[in-house]
Amino acid sequence: MSIRERIERAFLYGVFICYLYLLMKILFLSRVPIVDLFNSHRTFVRSINLIPFHSISEYISGSTANLRRFAFGNVVGNIFIFIPLGVYLSIFKNNKRAISNLLFIFVVSFFVEVLQGLLGIGAADIDDIILNGLGGWIGILAYKGFQFILRGEKKAQTAITVLSAIVGLPVLYYFLFMIKMRY
């Protein structure tokens, strides 16, 4: 591996670590401060939905503008936050098969929802698992599309590195440091 490839790989790992930090912040720390996460005096409000597409159908049939705005943010947000995971898994995992990466994304999303339900953070929702899986699948397809268009894995990784530098890092910086994520 050349020095350029090592630097590129290290950069991608750095962006991936920042992405994982943002993911943890969004999924676990956006509603409850870290010091209160395991506080025994904190009131636990649990919301669990095990019926597929129930929340999404409620959002679609919502009558108020605020509910529709929240619904759009929830649906689109759950898709978008897992797109990078699909891309980076396709790069970093030795097993490049899309189905194994998609299964991994569903397992990660399932554990996130279980933890949210156990800790009383937000809502544990089967629809979130479906939407997160859709986002991961879009990320996997995007990586495969880069490989097809650019005709090679190394060129696709270079393109993703450049996109991570131009788009990914500024977006990560904005969400991690410039706005306070409290809903």
For the chain, domain boundaries = 14-31+56-178
What's the pLDDT score for residue 183?
Answer: 42
d(CA 183, CA 45): 15
pLDDT score for 121 = 80
Cβ atoms of 68 and 139 within 8 Å: the answer is: no
113: pLDDT strictly greater than 80: yes
Q: Which residues pair with 125 in a beta bridge?
A: 49
Average pLDDT over residues 45-74: 80
Question: How far is it, in rounded angstroms, from Cα 119 to Cα 36?
Answer: 11
123 backbone dihedrals φ, ψ, rounded to 5°: -130, 135
pLDDT level of residue 132 (50, 70, 90 thresholds): very high
* Band of pLDDT at residue 117, cut at 50, 70 and 90: confident
The pLDDT of residue 43 is: 60
Q: According to the model, what pLDDT value does residue 123 have?
A: 80
Q: What is the pTM of this model?
A: 0.88
Dihedral sign for Cα atoms in the order 173, 103, 72, 32: negative
Taking the C-alpha atoms of residue 14 and residue 19, their distance in angstroms, rounded to an integer, is 9
**pLDDT of 66 over the 80 cut:** no
Q: What is the pLDDT of residue 45?
A: 65
Give the closest residue to 27 by CA, choosing from 91, 160, 116. Answer: 116
Answer whether residue 118 shows pLDDT above 90: no
Of the listed ranges 31-35, 86-90, 101-105, 127-131, the least confidently predicted one is 31-35
Band of residue 25 on the pLDDT scale cut at 50, 70, 90:
confident
